[in-house]
């Protein structure tokens, strides 16, 4: 029996130690279970936070995409407006140049007609301004009042014609600028 005694005493000591080891193991198991539950809870919370952040990121991406599309649309509209404006300006410049050229030609025709007229060429210079009429030296003293009145009347009529022609020219220029 001596051979069994050490083994039996070991078994007895294991059995007697067993409840204290059991308590320690149970305590450790409880602690580990609590840590596991806390870790699981933390994992659930972290996953929920991750999901919320992913949703927020998706919303921000969508908002950014819409804003980008809107900005691109505005850029296209603005570019189209600028192109139309440039085209209109080009067309107006071309029309203005044509009308200015036509007005100059018309003015030259009027000046040519004025200079072709014997009486008009004595009264107007080539630039269209009035010049003092040159009277013959021998006839200066002999003119009668009737002749002076007739010449004054003729001068007024010519001045009126010239004023009307200049007015028409100014009106034509105004129409050019308006269109």
- CA–CA distance, 116 with 121 (Å, rounded to integer): 7
Q: Strands (DSSP E) along 72-175, which ranges?
A: none
With vertex at residue 148, the alpha carbon angle to CA 110 and CA 153, rounded to the nearest 5 degrees, is 40
Residue 55, in any domain of the structure: yes
Tally of structural domains, the chain: 1
Contacts of 120 (CB under 8 A, 6+ apart): 113, 114, 158
Residue 77, in any domain of the structure: yes
- Give the least confident one: 55-59, 70-74, 125-129, 170-174: 125-129
Residue 162, in any domain of the structure: yes
pLDDT at 157: 86
Burial class (CB within 10 angstroms; exposed 0-12, middle 13-18, buried 19+) of 172 = middle
Q: What is the pLDDT of residues 89-107, one digit of tens each?
A: 889 888 889 988 888 888 8
Residue 103, in any domain of the structure: yes
- Whether pLDDT at 48 is above 70: yes
The Cα-based distances of 81 to 75, 88, 96, 155, 179 in angstroms read 10, 10, 22, 55, 19
Residue 1, in any domain of the structure: no
Residue 49, in any domain of the structure: yes
Q: Are 135 and 151 in contact (CB under 8 A)?
A: no
- Whether pLDDT at 122 is above 80: no
pLDDT at 38: 96
> Percentage of the chain surpassing pLDDT 90?
34
- Give the least confident one: 10-19, 93-102, 103-112, 159-168: 10-19
pLDDT at 179: 64
Residue 21, in any domain of the structure: no
pLDDT at 33: 95
Q: What predicted TM-score, i.e. pTM, was given to this entire model?
A: 0.41
pLDDT at 171: 79
Which residues span the domain enclosing 158?
42-178
């Amino acid at each position: 029996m001596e051979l069994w005694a050490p083994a039996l005493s070991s078994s007895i000591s294991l059995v007697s130690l067993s409840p204290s080891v059991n308590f320690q193991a149970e305590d450790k198991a409880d602690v580990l279970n609590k840590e596991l539950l806390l870790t699981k809870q933390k994992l659930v919370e972290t996953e929920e936070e991750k999901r919320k952040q992913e949703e927020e990121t998706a919303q921000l991406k969508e908002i950014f995409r819409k804003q980008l599309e809107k900005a691109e649309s505005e850029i296209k509209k603005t570019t189209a407006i600028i192109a139309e404006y440039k085209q209109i300006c080009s067309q107006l410049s071309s029309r203005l140049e044509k009308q200015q050229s036509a007005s100059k030609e018309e003015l030259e025709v009027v000046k040519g007609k004025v200079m072709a007229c014997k009486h008009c060429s004595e009264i107007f210079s080539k630039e269209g301004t009035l010049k003092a009429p040159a009277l013959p030296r021998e006839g200066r003293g002999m003119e009668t009042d009737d002749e002076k009145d007739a010449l004054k009347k003729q001068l007024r009529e010519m001045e009126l014609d010239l004023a009307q022609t200049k007015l028409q020219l100014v009106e034509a220029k105004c129409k050019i600028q308006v269109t």
